[in-house]
Chain A
Amino acid sequence: MKNSGQWSVFSGQRFVALSMRMILFFATFFVALSVLAQEIKPWEQIPTPKLHEFKPQQPKRIVLKNGIVLFLQEDHELPFVSGSVNIPGGSRDEDPAKTGLIGLYGQAWRTSGTAKLSGDALDDLLEAKAAHIETAGDADSTALSWNSLKGDADQVFSLAMDLLLHPQFSAEKLQLAQQQEATGIVRRNDDEGQIAQRESAKLVYGANSPYTRQPELATIGAVTVDDLKAWHDNTIGGNLIVSVDGDFDPVAMEAKLRAAFESLPPVKAMPARHDQFTDPKPGVSFINKDDVNQSNIEIVGLGTDRHNPDLASLAIMNEILGGGFASRLFQKIRTEKGLAYSVGGGYGFAWDHPATFRAVALTKSASTVDATKLALEEIAGLTTKPFTDEELARSKDNILNSFLFRYDTKEKVLAERVRLEFYGYPADYLESYRAALEKVTMADLDRVAKKYIHPDKLAVLVVGNGPEIKPGLDDLKLGPVQPIDITIPMPKQPAASEQKQ
């Protein structure tokens, strides 16, 4: 287990402080040449003292003989104890004919309760203590989590373990979950931003990809109680990661977790995924929405994952393109042109599969083409408009000086360690990432921009009010505009609501 000394924030801080001074020196030098009377800026005269010493407390990591990993993070500030069990396997692993299964499972697992205690009775019991036990499903995992006042921690933990090991999936609660999901499906075209985000991801990954396929009334209607049980039985024997944090005695807590998890059979790893990822088909797609006066513009392509050795350079490039107030997209489209309130973007990275490149701008219908052109220019400009020393220095400052907000609470440190464990990254990942960020040079930026930015491999999606968009999208000269049909398929019989027993 790595100890807390490895964080050593101070070497990093010193490096940043040094580079800051150098920047100030050069800035002063040039100003002195051009404007004789110019003084050092008032804010530059304010001293930056040495940061108080800080060693983020690392959780204790224990690997049980069966392969289950435990993390214990003590935190006595408040009288609460919380915990979670992360279980590999999520919606990307579900049967496409039953898309939406994980969403239903995440709800019905908890609402159904256990063999001993119904979900409703569990609700009464927990809420009276202001305690929570919840279950949820995600793209790559499902989770059970709990939280309670310290005095209730033993009982709530027992209840959580009962739910983990003896869930009782009920038809009634599955149906309730199906109704909730159905409501989400029929409402999914009401919000313009939701449409844009969903459909632009489909342009990159494909409509039937495990990362973008969407639940339909028919697919959620096809899910049965046996499907939920089978999912649970298949995933519960996986590489579980158990984490607890809060106000507990570490010896007693370790003993309790060992007693609960040590007797489980050896874990079986999820089979590795072999997804294929390709660039989107370039061109412009359009989705009409009559009741809006603003267009959602999405420019998307394939991104990367965090194993990419160019990650740090890409992060700096992202900061320059669309990170903060001073980024190129923000500066041009919002500050200079006043064309958008919401604008930004970057080359995305996920933990274990390529994320998307994504730039977004929301602008009034009439300026759709202008804003799209400007965004495309700024993206292409990454390879043609030279990066400046100022941009590099600013982006490093932005990221490095706020870096400690990734681990400024014990809870964040724990969550990060669980994430790293889940995706198989080393425990000192943040530290090496930070070191890599510090080393990024102008040459790195030029290189990654040329390597990863390919305007001809990007797709453009506009969601907006067609008749109001003048000039029309043809003016982008990116080929014929492809309409996308987002009509929600309605099965002959409403799947969810007619399943009553």
Chain B
Amino acid sequence: MKNRFSPWFWKGVLALATIAALAGAAAIQAQDLKSFEQKITTKVLPNGLTLLICERPEAPVFSYTTFIDAGGVNDPSGESGLAHMFEHLAFKGNSEIGTTDYADEKIALAKVEAANDAYEAEYLKAVGRDEAKLAELKKAFLSAQAEAHKFVIPNQFTDVAERNGAEGLNAQTGLDETIFFWSMPENRLELWAWLESGRLADVVPREFYKERDVVYEERRMRTDSSPIGRLLEQFQAAAYTAHNYRRSTIGWPSEVAQINATEAMEFHKKYYVGSNIVVAVVGDVKASEALPMLEKYFSKIPAGAKPEEMTTIEPKQFAEKTVAIREQTQPVYIEGYHRPDYRDPDDAVYDAISDIVSNGRVSRLYRSLVRDQQIAAEAGGFSGFPGVRYPGLFAFYAFPLPGHTPAEMRDALHKEIDKLRTADVTDEELAMFKTRTRADLLRGLADNQGLANSLAETQTRYGDWRELFNQLDRVDKVTKADIRRVANKVFIPSNRTSAWIETEAPAEAAKNDGGAQ
């Protein structure tokens, strides 16, 4: 490749450009925090729930995020998948919506629960299970469900939302949190407040067991039938010994198949209390006008103490762990190292490492594994798996090119990790991380839904939305020595779990009869 300029020329240009960009962006940060102070109103209600309104009247719409500080990590032992199951239940309405007659439905639902208990008790008998009785109990369970179903107006909650213009209506459960969100025309704000506060405050285990089947199909799709899904579930399970981060949000098959409505209602009672909820609204909303109305609705949510913190701390790993999956899919390699949670003073240092090793075509892993060695199609490093609220993993991964193996990925990644431990990153790399972090934060400010998510999450995790901007101070303070120090502390073999897929040759010709007999 011909280049009219010497490399030194470009280095000079780079250094100058970086300084200019940084200076510009720093001014922007101060400006933005100041302007957001004007736009954002927060209010903690007597029940402990935090309302956050961000005025952004660009168009007559708003987006909201309800952030529940509870996720899969809070699933009780033996009930993995419960937080996620509850998320699904929150779309089924409550005592006012989704029913023809709640008083009678309530009685019918109690009978469903009793029938399920009877069935489960027989099903789980270690000795002397009576198959005939089990079949009877199953029949009784199904007929109790059919009875309860007579009172259901299916999908009425979502129907009212969608008919009133709800856009992007959805929810997500992670190990750390559960979020609910959609966007709507601004003149539906009060209707939204009624719907949202109603489903948070008042939950009915409607169609619970049908929905459990639906959720199981979600597991089949995302985990069982997906090579990457299977790999990550095993990787996570191997990396953690004691902490609930060892379980996936979707839950283990036997557990998610046996969660019952009583358990889901208990989960709701414990975790869906005011002090555990932040609701952020962003868009064409005037706080002074909307707040009294929102207070009226969201005060319906029960007060309650913030649920107690988990006592389990993952013990220090002292043995390197590996998971090898041999199957007829293409190879992948991933490895992870335990790191502290998001409150750690070095949190931004991990962000710096992640940016430097994997952001774009300038990143070390792209240039080394993809461009120069030509052994991988893609490689990267990232934090936040499986969560951030408790100590998670810093993971490195690579997808080999055809003909290359997971072992080659491992060796090449280790060489790059060793460089982080033995030599400083360059000034340019560090400056680039800081510039890009600022710019990406700014880019995210023009989207109602994205902003609602970020504000609700930051308010929950730090108790102050301003951290969304102030985190840039921590980013600014990251030094080359920090990166080297953290790399030496964390990226060591005894702190490592690796998992990979190795491609196995097919044993026999694939069956292609579609189950034909």
Contacts and interface: CB of A to CB of B under 8 A. Distances in A.
A121 B158 contact: no
Contacts of A470: 515
A340 B217 contact: yes
B516 interface: yes
Interface in A132-178: 149, 151-152, 168, 170, 172, 176
Interface string A96-111: 0000000000000001
A116 B59 CA distance: 43
A468 B158 contact: no
A97 to B, nearest CB: 21
Nearest to B507: A290
A78 B60 CA distance: 19
B481 interface: no
A116 B515 contact: no
A49 B159 contact: no
A485 interface: yes
Interface stretch (B179-187, B316-324, B386-394, B410-418): B179-187
A250 interface: no
Contacts of B58: 77, 408-410
Contacts of A27: none
B33 interface: no
Interface stretch (A51-59, A229-237, A301-309, A430-438): A51-59
Nearest to A364: B220
B14 interface: yes
A265 interface: no
Given A123-B361, A182-B402, A128 B515 contact: no
Interface string A338-366: 11111000000000000000000011100
Contacts of B463: none
B225 to A, nearest CB: 4
Contact of A494 (B61, B167, B402, B440): B402
A394 B166 CA distance: 13
Contacts of A286: 512-514
B435 interface: yes
Interface in A172-227: 172, 176, 179-180, 182-184, 186-187, 190-193
Given A182-B402, A339-B217, A43 B191 contact: yes
B25 interface: yes
B191 A46 contact: yes
Contacts of B166: 402
A40 B361 CA distance: 60
A52 B164 contact: no
A271 interface: no
Interface string B26-53: 0010000000000000000000000000
B60 A326 contact: no
A4 interface: no
A172 B372 CA distance: 11
A293 to B, nearest CB: 5
Interface string A269-296: 0000000000000001011111111100
A492 interface: no
Given A48-B188, A51-B187, A151-B20, A291 B512 contact: no
B514 to A, nearest CB: 3
A116 B168 CA distance: 45
A128 B17 contact: yes
B117 interface: no
Nearest to A291: B327
A468 B515 CA distance: 7
B162 interface: yes
Contacts of B512: 286-288, 466, 483-485
Chain A interface size band reads 35 or more
A291 B360 CA distance: 33
A481 interface: yes
Contacts of B97: 41-43
Contacts of A340: 214, 217
Contacts of B400: 183
B221 A149 contact: no
A82 B187 CA distance: 32
Interface stretch (A84-92, A328-336, A375-383, A441-449): A328-336
B4 interface: yes
Given A111-B361, A324-B158, A405-B183, A43 B194 contact: yes
A126 B371 CA distance: 18
A472 B21 contact: no
A472 B401 contact: no
Contact of A472 (B3, B443, B515): B515
A266 interface: no
Nearest to A462: B514
A124 interface: yes
A42 to B, nearest CB: 5
B13 interface: yes
Contacts of B188: 48
A324 B166 CA distance: 11
Given A43-B160, A287-B512, A474-B516, A293 B14 contact: no
Nearest to B218: A341
Contact of A128 (B96, B159, B226, B432): B432
B225 A294 contact: yes
Contact of A49 (B17, B187, B194, B431): B187
B307 interface: no
A477 interface: no
B362 A341 contact: no
Contacts of A284: 514
B435 A128 contact: yes
Interface stretch (B205-213, B239-247, B486-494): B205-213
A5 interface: no
Nearest to A398: B162
B165 A291 contact: no
A466 B360 CA distance: 41
A264 to B, nearest CB: 24
Contacts of A170: 1
B204 interface: no
Contacts of A473: 514-516
A66 interface: no
A497 B401 contact: yes
A401 interface: yes
Contact of B226 (A50, A191, A471): A191
Contacts of B14: 124-125, 128
Interface centre among B195, B361, B515 (most CB of A within 10 A): B515
B172 interface: no
B85 to A, nearest CB: 12
A67 interface: no
Nearest to B226: A191
Given A51-B186, A288-B511, A78 B214 contact: no
A179 B24 CA distance: 39
Contact of A183 (B227, B284, B361, B402): B402
Given A190-B227, A341-B218, A467 B515 contact: yes
Contacts of A260: none
Contacts of A183: 377, 399-402
Contact of A176 (B17, B160, B370): B370
Interface of B: 1-4, 10, 13-14, 17-18, 20-21, 24-25, 28, 57-61, 91, 96-97, 154-155, 158-160, 162-168, 183, 185-188, 190-191, 194-195, 207, 209-218, 220-221, 224-227, 284, 327-330, 359-362, 370-371, 374, 377, 399-403, 428, 431-432, 435-436, 438-440, 442-443, 445-447, 510-517
Given A288-B512, A466-B513, 4 more contacts: A190-B330, A288-B510, A397-B165, A473-B516
Interface of A: 41-43, 46-54, 56, 77-80, 111, 113, 115-121, 123-125, 127-130, 149, 151-152, 168, 170, 172, 176, 179-180, 182-184, 186-187, 190-193, 284, 286-294, 324-326, 330-331, 334-342, 362-364, 368, 394, 397-398, 401-405, 407-410, 462, 466-474, 481, 483-485, 494, 497
Nearest 9 A-B pairs (CB), nearest first? A401-B165, A472-B515, A338-B213, A469-B515, A286-B514, A130-B439, A483-B512, A292-B225, A183-B377
